[in-house]
Chain A
Amino acid sequence: DTGVSQDPRHKITKRGQNVTFRCDPISEHNRLYWYRQTLGQGPEFLTYFQNEAQLEKSRLLSDRFSAERPKGSFSTLEIQRTEQGDSAMYLCASSRPPVSVIETQYFGPGTRLLVL
C-alpha cells in the first residue's frame, strides 16, 4: 500500500510565474485535502474534494489559486502569478470514505515552493 505522493518535492520559481503541483492520494481514498505550511507554523487548510467535487475552499485560497480533481483520483494545485508570500510547503492529504464519524487524514511529504 503506497502512501500519498506529491510531485515535485521542491520547486523554485521566479515571481510572476505559474506553478502546478500534483498529488496522488492513497488508492480508494475518496477525500483529498490541500494544506499550506509556512515556516514555524502549523498547516493551514486550503481546500478539499470528495471524489471530483470541491466541497470547501478556505479564504486563504485567493483567485490566483485553483485546484482540480478531474476524475476523482489525483489532484492538481495551480498558483498563477506567484508572489514571494506564496513560498511555503504545500501538503496533500487523503482519507477513505467515512465508516465512522471522521476518518484519519494521511499526509504526503509535501511540495516545498520557493518564489524568488
Chain B
Amino acid sequence: AQSVTQLDSQVPVFEEAPVELRCNYSSSVSVYLFWYVQYPNQGLQLLLKYLSGSTLVESINGFEAEFNKSQTSFHLRKPSVHISDTAEYFCAVSDQGAQKLVFGQGTRLTINP
C-alpha cells in the first residue's frame, strides 16, 4: 500500500528566507507525485506535479520540487518566501494506473515578517 510522510507538521520561516518542505513516499510501483496548497479558508489547489521526464518540476509562483527515486522523496523548495505563501501544503502520490490520491498529513508554512 502507498503512504506519504511529511516530516514536518509546521515550518516557521522569515520572509525572504529559503524553505524546504519534506515529503517521502512508499510504493511498490511507479508513481505520480503532487504538491497541493491550501490557503486559509480556501480549497485545495494543485501547486505542481511530477508525471515523468525531468525530475525537477516548477510552479508558476517560484516553488520547485525534485523527484528522487532512490530516496523516494519529493521535497518542495522555494529560494525566497513571501508572506502570501502562508498556507498548508500537502504532498500526494498516485499509483500509475490508479486515480485516487494518497495524501500526507500536511505541513503548515508560517511566514514571519
Contacts and interface: CB of A to CB of B under 8 A. Distances in A.
Interface of A: 3-4, 31, 33, 35, 40-45, 48, 55-56, 58, 91, 93, 95, 100-102, 104-110
Contact of A56 (B6, B90, B100, B105): B100
Interface bracket on B: 20 to 34
B99 A48 contact: yes
Nearest to A102: B32
Contacts of A95: 99
Contacts, number: 60
B99 A101 contact: no
Given A40-B105, A42-B105, A101-B32, A109 B42 contact: yes
A44 B103 contact: yes
B46, B102, B103 interface centre (most CB from chain A within 10 Å)? B103
Interface in B73-113: 90, 92, 94, 96, 99-106
B51 A107 contact: no
